[in-house]
Chain A
Amino acid sequence: MRFEWMYWTVPTAIFFITIFLMIAGMLVWELVSPTVERRGFLKIPTTRGTRFFVGLLGTAYIHLAWLGLTDFNLWFALPISAVWIFIVMRWG
């Protein structure tokens, strides 16, 4: 198998490994303690997976907004995103 055509770089590899590890972590979490559907501030019935998806999607938007609207270093968006994911996972 040759992967040259995919033009892998170290940052993108770290990015995808992190995503896959998070998904794998969600699977383990689900096996250890199955999720219960509930309603939070999102006003829709959500499972843990739904909130995780909303968290990741929000993270992408936070990064895009940071990049498009500010000139500061993009790394500042990362802690904001982490806080956002935590808020959504906990109270979403």
Chain B
Amino acid sequence: MEKWADNKAWFLVLPVFVVVAFSAIIPLMTVVNYSLQDIFGPGNAVFVGTEWFKEMLTDTRLHDALGRQFIFSSLVLMIEIPLGILIALAMPKKGWGASASLVTLAIPLLIPWNVIGTIWIIFTRPDIGLFGVGINSLNLLDVPFDHTARPSYAWVTLMAMEVWHWTPLVALLCYAGLRAIPEAYYQAAKIDGASSWAVFRYIQLPKMRGVLTIAILLRWMDSFLIYAEPFALTGGGPGNSTTFLSIYLVKLATGQFDLGPAAAFSLIYFLIVLLFCFIFYQALLNVGKGEKTS
């Protein structure tokens, strides 16, 4: 019965609850209201039931955007996670090299997201950009490189930008995980004559499990919600080839001002994100528990 004594502590959560109510719950309720109505103007709305949901669920452009989003986020994870681990393993462990590489790695993380898009537009321009001019001077491509010329070029540019932007985060997390491993583990491995692969497989990788789960979670969610960088770089083009969910949503909501369909879309998007959040959250909660039993 002692646990009842602590229940007053819940009142300390009240300020956060009020903030969340105003920043998330009330807007979300408004979106739910919007999603069931056709809004022509202020004070002029007609109840349409679930029509917008039906329209959005059968909208092939939404299906395409969703498919693109999954491909993009999966590719991002497949590149960034191994690359981040490799960088973390290669980084100096102490001395000025460690500080220098940490600062260098942190630079992309400090740049505003739309500025990153602009940097990469200039970087990949075929007339003045270092990357664009460089790759075209090799004469390897049948169509000269220009990130607006072909969907595949736009994707390559976008992936390169995303990897450049966010691999440092994965590397920093892994680096922190690696530094937390006590020296005794390495000494034991040395005595046993373990190969560097065995050290990685049986010491470093298991010990990085926690930070890797966080890294995968963060990168999946962030890349799933990506907006500013592709908006600045390609604007969703050429055609619709880089139109991800949030870009399509903004086109719908503020471009065409279809508030009803956009609201229905937002709720579907929200439910997908909520499902992934739940799965990742459970994975994160249980990440330590598996180690104890094994």
Residues of A within 8 A of B (CB): 4-9, 11-12, 15-16, 34, 44-45, 53-54, 57, 60-61, 64, 67-68, 74
Which of B30, B47, B268, B282 contacts A64, CB < 8 Å?
Answer: B268
Which of A6, A11, A68 contacts B58, CB < 8 Å?
Answer: A68
Q: How many residues of chain B are within 8 Å of chain A by beta carbon?
A: 25
Which residues of chain B come closer than 8 Å to A67, judged between CB atoms? 50, 53-54, 57
Which residues of chain B come closer than 8 Å to A4, judged between CB atoms? 43
Which of B47, B53, B54 contacts A9, CB < 8 Å?
Answer: B47
Which residues of chain B come closer than 8 Å to A15, judged between CB atoms? 32
Which residues of chain A come closer than 8 Å to B33, judged between CB atoms? 6-9, 12
On whether A6 and B57 interact (CB within 8 A), knowing A12-B36, A57-B271, A60-B271, the answer reads no
| Interface class of chain B by DSSP | helix
On whether A64 and B53 interact (CB within 8 A), knowing A12-B36, A15-B32, the answer reads yes
Which residues of chain A come closer than 8 Å to B275, judged between CB atoms? 57, 61
Which residues of chain A come closer than 8 Å to B53, judged between CB atoms? 64, 67
* Any A CB within 8 A of the CB of B39: yes
How distant is the Cα of A66 from the Cα of B90 in the complex, in angstroms?
51
A32 to nearest B CB, angstroms?
A: 13
Interface centre among B26, B34, B50, B58 (most CB of A within 10 A): B50
How distant is the Cα of A9 from the Cα of B33 in the complex, in angstroms?
7
Which of A7, A16, A60, A68 contacts B57, CB < 8 Å?
Answer: A68
Residues of B within 8 A of A (CB): 3, 26, 29-30, 32-34, 36-37, 39, 43, 45, 47, 50, 53-54, 57-58, 268, 271, 274-275, 278, 282, 286
A58 to nearest B CB, angstroms?
A: 10
Contact indicator A7/B34 (Cβ below 8 Å): yes
Which of B30, B268, B274, B282 contacts A7, CB < 8 Å?
Answer: B30
B291 to nearest A CB, angstroms?
A: 16
Nearest residue (CB) in B for A65 is B57
A-B residue pairs in contact (CB < 8 Å), sample of 26: A4-B43, A5-B30, A6-B29, A6-B30, A6-B33, A7-B30, A7-B34, A7-B37, A7-B39, A9-B36, A9-B37, A11-B36, A11-B47, A12-B29, A12-B33, A15-B32, A16-B32, A44-B286, A57-B271, A57-B274, A61-B271, A64-B271, A67-B53, A67-B57, A68-B54, A68-B57
On whether A16 and B29 interact (CB within 8 A), knowing A7-B39, A57-B278, the answer reads yes
How distant is the Cα of A61 from the Cα of B270 in the complex, in angstroms?
12
How distant is the Cα of A34 from the Cα of B2 in the complex, in angstroms?
13
Nearest residue (CB) in B for A34 is B3
Contact indicator B50/A74 (Cβ below 8 Å): yes
